[in-house]
Amino acid sequence: MQLSIRDIVFEVFRFLWENRLDLLRMMAAPVLALSIFGIGLSALLASGTPEAEGASLSGLHVLGLFLAVALPTIFYVMFAVAWHRRCLRSEEQTTILSALRWDRRKTLFLGRFFVIALITLALALPPAVITMIVGGGTAAGLAQSGVGGPSTGILFLQLGKTVIAVVVLLLQVRLAIWLPAAALDHKLTLMEAWVMGRRNSWRMVAILILSIAPAMLAAVLVSSAVGLFAQATGLAGTLTFRFVASLAFNFVYYIVIAASVSALSISYRELRRKPSPGTPYYV
């Protein structure tokens, strides 16, 4: 079957609006925790001096880099699993504690998330390397022949990056069907998830982009507003301002996550739905 882009996108918006209070409750803990962590980490890393504490500062940087990746990933998994179930099993009563409690389901979801990331990286890395080599070689060759210059090479590189980004997006949306199955305890292999999205790759990309577009626009507006306010007031360096700005960014970020998870959940539900045999025809 083919997914209906318009119907699914409208359903995503309707679902988010009708369940906005549940969304705020579920995202409150990750948004607050990540905002506090971000401010605390930046203050901790800025507290030492490289000359006197070179070794310890290096260790803090390594620990900070690890936590900066690990904590957002963990909170994403917690929220995504809970929101997948909220979207596809609305009758289930999910509490904040159950949403944040780590269990086998979240471990499986995290494992699949990493498998998808590694597959995408493995498939995207060779074309990226080839693009860099071909783009640089083309620029050098055109420059020697007098046909082009550095801008020509940059154009080739940008074109190659765009193609790779599109391919990566297509791969990810097809493989991401594997994730809601983990959240719902459905038995589904990676190959079955790939086959399930057949003939719907571009439709799933369109559904994802249109679903998160309003939240992404809000992110741009929030970023611009925060920047203008910081310039006008001179409060950019204060701890309070950075905390409030971090809260705003993380809030919009989780709206984007909720929209993308909702789009994936509804697409998964529609792809699993067996086509109707239609009305019987009697002679």
Q: Which residue has the tokens 């509490």?
A: 95
pLDDT at residue 39, rounded to an integer? 83
Residue 281 has pLDDT above 80, yes or no: no
48, 184, 247, 249 from 44: Cα distances, Å: 8, 39, 19, 21
pLDDT at residue 139, rounded to an integer? 54
Look at the alpha carbons of 216, 217, 218, 223 in this order and tell me if their dihedral is positive or negative: positive
**Banded model confidence at residue 137, pLDDT cuts 50, 70, 90:** low
Identify residue 181 by its one-letter amino acid code: A
Residue range 231-242, pLDDT digits in tens? 777 776 677 788
pLDDT at residue 55, rounded to an integer? 45
pLDDT at residue 145, rounded to an integer? 54
The least confident of 50-64, 100-114, 171-185, 192-206 is 50-64
Mean pLDDT of 172-201: 92
Using an 8 Å Cβ cutoff, are 113 and 77 in contact? yes
pLDDT at residue 282, rounded to an integer? 40
DSSP 74-126: HHHHHHHHHHHHHHH-TTS---HHHHHS--HHHHHHHHHHHHHHHHHHHHHHH
Mean pLDDT of 197-201: 90
Supply the pTM of this predicted model.
Answer: 0.84
Q: Average pLDDT over the chain, rounded to whole?
A: 82
Mean pLDDT of 141-157: 58
pLDDT at residue 57, rounded to an integer? 52
Residue range 257-266, pLDDT digits in tens? 999 999 999 9
DSSP the chain: ----HHHHHHHHHHHHHHTHHHHHHHHHHHHHHHHHHHHHHHHHHTSS-TTTSHHHHHHHHHHHHHHHHHHHHHHHHHHHHHHHHHHH-TTS---HHHHHS--HHHHHHHHHHHHHHHHHHHHHHHHHHHHHHHHHHHHHHHHHHTS--HHHHHHHHHHHHHHHHHHHHHHHHHHTTHHHHHHTT----HHHHHHHTTT-HHHHHHHHHHHHHHHHHHHHHHHHHHHHHHHHHS-TTSHHHHHHHHHHHHHHHHHHHHHHHHHHHHHHHHHHSPPP-------
Mean pLDDT of 194-201: 90
pLDDT at residue 150, rounded to an integer? 55
pLDDT at residue 43, rounded to an integer? 72
Q: Phi first, then psi: what are they for 275, rounded to 5°?
A: -65, 140
Q: Which residue has the tokens 């709206």?
A: 255
